[in-house]
Amino acid sequence: MMNKLLKSTLALLLLSGTSALAEDKLPLKELPGIADRDYWVPGEVNAEGKLEALQAVVGAKGVPFTGSQEKPVEIALIYPSADTSDFWARNFLAMTKRLDELGIKYNTTEFASRQIEHSLQSTYANQVLQDGDIYDYVIFGPSELAIQADNIDKLAENEDFTTYVWAFHTPLKDLKNQPDVWFDFSSAAGALVMCDYMLERLGSDVTMAMNRGIPGITDDQRSGDFKDCVMEKGNWKVAYEHYGEYQREGGFEGTSLILQAYPEATIIHNANTAMAMGSVEAQISVGKEKEVFSTGWGGTGLELDAIRRGELDATPMRMGDDVGAATAEAIKADLEDRAGELPLVFLGRITVAHDQLEAAELDALQQEAFRFSGIGALER
């Protein structure tokens, strides 16, 4: 395997200087609002056709790796997989099963944390940097993008390994070193999909409350973009916004307060799985789970089971295994010296799963989304 510097140089030569991985070439194009953002959106950094090409590969059956390996590739994963959301575990499974399907030998080392344990992630990042010669690939799932920006920069700078970022798709403009690929689902796109669905189903002039996550890009998009959309298009009102830090406890506490102090709110928006599960628990504890329209985020196994039980009403559903499968395909492309074919930002697909779907329709969505990691909630 060529080292990272040599691979980047070759990619630049092959693409005649058009590679999205060259920091001094970004953005490749400018889209509305670029001057007001401290990050780029995918359309500004992805070369034409690269995202769609990788999405097509990920959606099809894997084509086996044609090269040879002297030893398994070593993969380090630094991510908040100790949280309630099964996003991390599912994409780990999707990546490893896709690697198996591709015939690529690998070993993995996991550095798990909770999403609020920012310092622990920094400790893990430093540990991986110190042991950089051990790893070929480092997958970093930041606890929050701005907080972990320095760690992303340092990991991406290291030439011993290739760096991938999970769960974010907004490359920060001030990074000196961009990671090789960002893998995510667009929270902004999901918010708009959810907005359109909610307006069509529930109409205008509705009052809602929100369990938001941690201030930052993810919540700005999942919660902020959704709020702006329903207020602008449907004249919705927001009675209360609670920051639950993406934790089950935060969803429970926020919902308990909403039910007591803001009974006019007939909808509760939750910005991730953990808070949605806490919100449902709070509603059930006072027998109000049928009185409030509750949403989640991501369409994880826990959320889909809650929809089936009639406890959760709707969620923007990611075709969840796309991120892990795409990561495996990126590793294959890298091993085959085709890294220049990859987009800087990969995005998976999002639709809305809800309680009005027929059982067969919900099952089909789940089968496609979790084709590698399996149907049903994962064992914790």
Number of domains in the chain: 2
**Cβ-proximal residues to 309 (8 Å cutoff; 6+ apart), any chain:** none
Cβ atoms of 313 and 307 closer than 8 Å: yes
Judge whether residue 6 has pLDDT over 50.
no
Residues 231, 280, single domain; the answer is yes
Residue 341 within a domain: yes
Residues 194, 145, single domain; the answer is no
Judge whether residue 9 has pLDDT over 70.
no
User: pLDDT value at position 266?
Assistant: 97
Distances (CA, A) of 72 to 1, 89, 100, 139, 219: 11, 21, 12, 16, 38
Residue 359 within a domain: no
Residues 76, 223, single domain; the answer is no
- 332-369, pLDDT tens digit by residue? 999 999 999 999 999 998 999 999 999 899 999 989 88
User: pLDDT value at position 375?
Assistant: 79
Residue 315 within a domain: no
Average pLDDT over residues 327-333: 98
Judge whether residue 174 has pLDDT over 90.
yes
Residues 113, 81, single domain; the answer is yes
- 79-118, pLDDT tens digit by residue? 987 776 688 999 999 999 999 999 999 999 999 888 888 9
Residue 121 within a domain: yes
Judge whether residue 1 has pLDDT over 80.
no
Residue 252 within a domain: yes
Average pLDDT over residues 29-47: 94
Q: Cα–Cα distance between 340 and 113 in angstroms, integer?
A: 32
**Residues above pLDDT 90, as percent of the chain:** 79
User: pLDDT value at position 379?
Assistant: 65
Judge whether residue 14 has pLDDT over 50.
no
Confidence of residue 269 (pLDDT cuts 50, 70, 90): very high
Judge whether residue 77 has pLDDT over 50.
yes
Judge whether residue 259 has pLDDT over 90.
yes
User: pLDDT value at position 20?
Assistant: 37
Residue 181 within a domain: yes
- 242-254, pLDDT tens digit by residue? 999 999 999 999 9
Residues 202, 340, single domain; the answer is no
Residue 373 within a domain: no
Residues 169, 70, single domain; the answer is yes
Residues 117, 34, single domain; the answer is yes
- 124-157, pLDDT tens digit by residue? 999 999 999 999 999 999 988 999 999 999 999 9
CATH number, domain at 266? 3.40.50.2300
Residues 44, 160, single domain; the answer is yes
Confidence of residue 312 (pLDDT cuts 50, 70, 90): very high
Residues 64, 88, single domain; the answer is yes
Residues 75, 53, single domain; the answer is yes
Burial class from Cβ neighbours inside 10 Å (0-12, 13-18, 19+) for residue 291 reads: exposed
Which two tokens mark 136?
A: 């070929």
For the chain, the average pLDDT equals 91
Judge whether residue 160 has pLDDT over 60.
yes
Residues 66, 159, single domain; the answer is yes
Which one, of 123, 92, 46, lies nearest residue 340 by Cα? Answer: 46
**Residues above pLDDT 70, as percent of the chain:** 92
Domain of 335, in residue numbers: 4-185+320-349
Domain end call among 264, 282, 297: 297
Average pLDDT over residues 192-210: 97
Q: Cα–Cα distance between 209 and 190 in angstroms, integer?
A: 19
Residue 66 within a domain: yes
Query: At 216, is the secondary structure helix, strand, or coil?
Result: coil
Judge whether residue 299 has pLDDT over 80.
yes
Considering only residues 366 and 256, tell me which one the structure prediction assigns the higher pLDDT: 256
Query: At 49, is the secondary structure helix, strand, or coil?
Result: coil
Range scoring the smallest mean pLDDT among 19-28, 285-294, 355-364: 19-28
Residues 102, 145, single domain; the answer is yes
Question: Which ranges in the chain belong to alpha helices (H)?
Answer: 4-14, 42-45, 50-59, 87-102, 118-130, 149-157, 187-202, 217-219, 226-234, 248-261, 273-285, 301-308, 322-335, 359-369
Domain end call among 234, 265, 297: 297
| Residue 167 region by backbone torsions, left for phi larger than 0, else alpha for psi between -120 and 50, else beta | left
Q: What is the DSSP letter of 61?
A: P
User: pLDDT value at position 22?
Assistant: 45
Judge whether residue 12 has pLDDT over 90.
no
